[in-house]
Amino acid sequence: MDLISRENPARVAEIVGSVPVTDPAAVDAAVRRADDAFRGWSGLPVAERVAALRRGADTVAARLEELAPLLARESGKPLADSRGEIGFAVAFLRWVCDEAPAVLAATEIDDDAGRLVVRRKPYGVVGCVTPWNAPVILAMLKLGPALAAGNTVVLKPSPLAPLTITEVAAALPAVQVIHGGAETGRALAGHPLVRKVAFTGGDAAGREIAATAGAMITPAVLELGGNDPAVFLPDFALSDADYERLVMASFATAGQVCMAAKRLYVPRARTAEFTEAYLAAAERVLVVGDPLDPEVTMGPVISAAAAARIGALVAGATGGTATPLGRSAPGHDPASGYFVTPYLVTGLDDHAPLVAQEQFGPAVPLLAYDTEEEVLVRADAGELGLAASVWSADEERAFALAGRLGAGFVFVNTHNRTGMSLRAPFGGVKRSGYGREYGKEGLLEYVQSAVVHAPAAFRPGGPGMAPGAYPGGVHDEPPRAAGAVRPPP
């Protein structure tokens, strides 16, 4: 059996653990087991499903201190972030348990127009394909709502961070985890018994997943990349703490976050002041080193290929000035793993690859602008529209611009994870994908409405309706008795 062995990206000689590759025949068997389990799981009352999920949340919470170092070692995410991500996933699952009974409840109307029942029915087997950058929460955003709604799940995590999520998923009912790369993901997304696909990842895989699912008429949720602009209005007023939060909005998880602040648009007259405060804040909060060192706030990137790609983006930022940020933890050896120096890059134009593309790494461009209308156009340029932020001392002014930006989620006076809310639907516009996670919309992704309807006209004693008539139409013929025959014209 083939194995995926995952190295520690901070100390590449260390193997953190391994998982077996699931071949296509075993993917088929897993989906069939999930399909067999669907009738039983979906037949439970929602209260029972939610109770089982709450027990799962408690189990994961009780193992937090054991799982956080595992996540740090396999993903390179600092220990505090790893703890935070698992804790957030538990909080999200508990939130789903609180909200699901009301959101999933059937509605029934019995009135003059008839009797109408709208049920929220699960799809069946949900196939989930997830990335490595936040492997626990990004899987939980699918598992929690899908399971609460009564679906069963087959989850394929990224081979670059498969270990912690496998442990977390084992605490939940009605989930199987399969492992592998694109081939395993393809076999899952294209399986005829998979009734919904939920994908988070990059553009190339997203396009292929959408095509594979589309060929089977399987609906999909696609959470893809972003190139988030952070727009500072001329009146922005940032404290030292705000600058520190802003630095981490770009450099948490070494910049490998879909909704990181990826382009900073600053009024031309205030760039010098901004740059000075930004560099000072980075010096205070950005500490590069081993993720298990409690002082460290930025670990390595995920792989040698990622380090090379980001290095090339910075090297290719011709005409700009790249200023290294932060400091190294004492005793840190950058050669031990996939470490990349974090940079603030100034002086680029919007066509530079570091600006125009999603960098997904620790280098952020600072761009000067002159007018609000101009920055709106520049911030919205490109094919991506995941998140954005607007920063201003005047909240009304910030909300006004935020409402005009072409992004699925706009933060005000913050950016990235500090701006999230369990109740706020998250997802992209344009090529950042479709479908939503979090909030009521995130729960409704995993149900289809199914209707039972008795129109008043045909209920006992009802007046009937002309054959072929449209109900409620403005040109309705007068009601006729059931069985009456239309006279010839």
* Residues in region 365-384 near ligand NAD by CB under 6 A: none
Cβ closest to ligand NAD, residue 226 vs residue 291: 226
Cβ closest to ligand NAD, residue 50 vs residue 139: 139
Report how many residues bind ligand NAD under the rule CB under 6 A: 30
| 223 part of the active site | yes
Burial 397-415 (b: 16+ CB within 10 A, else e): ebeebbeebbbbbbbebbb
Among 75, 130, 271, 416, binds ligand NAD (CB under 6 A): 130
* Residues in region 433-452 near ligand NAD by CB under 6 A: 433
Phi/psi for 433 (5° steps) reads 120, -170
Applying CB under 6 A, the span of 99-107, 195-203, 234-242, 371-379 interacting with ligand NAD comes to 195-203
99 binds ligand NAD (CB under 6 A): no
Applying CB under 6 A, the span of 97-105, 128-136, 325-333, 394-402 interacting with ligand NAD comes to 128-136
Provide the 8-state DSSP code for 298.
Answer: B
205 binds ligand NAD (CB under 6 A): yes
H or E element at residue 273:
helix 271-285
Structure tokens at 18: 């391994």
Phi/psi for 53 (5° steps) reads -70, -35
Question: Considering 99, 258, 358, 445, which one is annotated as catalytic?
Answer: 258
209 binds ligand NAD (CB under 6 A): yes
Among 67, 138, 143, 282, binds ligand NAD (CB under 6 A): 138
Among 127, 144, 185, 361, binds ligand NAD (CB under 6 A): 185
**174-177, long-range: CB < 8 A, 24+ apart:** 174/34, 174/37, 174/41, 174/147, 175/143, 175/147, 176/30, 176/33, 176/34
Among 103, 137, 163, 224, binds ligand NAD (CB under 6 A): 224
In what side-by-side order are the strands of the sheet with 220-223?
A: 175-177, 152-156, 125-129, 194-200, 220-223, 433-434
Cβ closest to ligand NAD, residue 289 vs residue 342: 342
Catalogue the E-assigned strands of 370-489: 384-385, 387-391, 409-412, 429-430, 433-434, 447-455
Applying CB under 6 A, the span of 10-18, 80-88, 179-187, 228-236 interacting with ligand NAD comes to 179-187
Cα distances (angstroms) measured from residue 442 to each of 92, 96, 145, 400, 407: 11, 10, 7, 26, 17
Q: Residues 222, 384: contact at Cβ < 8 Å?
A: no
258 binds ligand NAD (CB under 6 A): yes
| 437 part of the active site | no
Among 73, 186, 245, 262, binds ligand NAD (CB under 6 A): 186
Cβ closest to ligand NAD, residue 75 vs residue 152: 75
Applying CB under 6 A, the span of 67-75, 198-206, 441-449, 450-458 interacting with ligand NAD comes to 198-206
Cα gap 288→253, rounded to integer Å: 11
CA end-to-end distance (rounded Å), the chain: 77
Question: Considering 223, 244, 358, 445, which one is annotated as catalytic?
Answer: 223
Q: Residues 128, 451: contact at Cβ < 8 Å?
A: no
Interface residues toward ligand NAD, by CB under 6 A: 129-133, 138, 156, 158-159, 181-182, 185-186, 189, 200-202, 205, 208-209, 223-226, 258, 358, 360, 386, 428, 433
Residues marked as catalytic: 223, 258
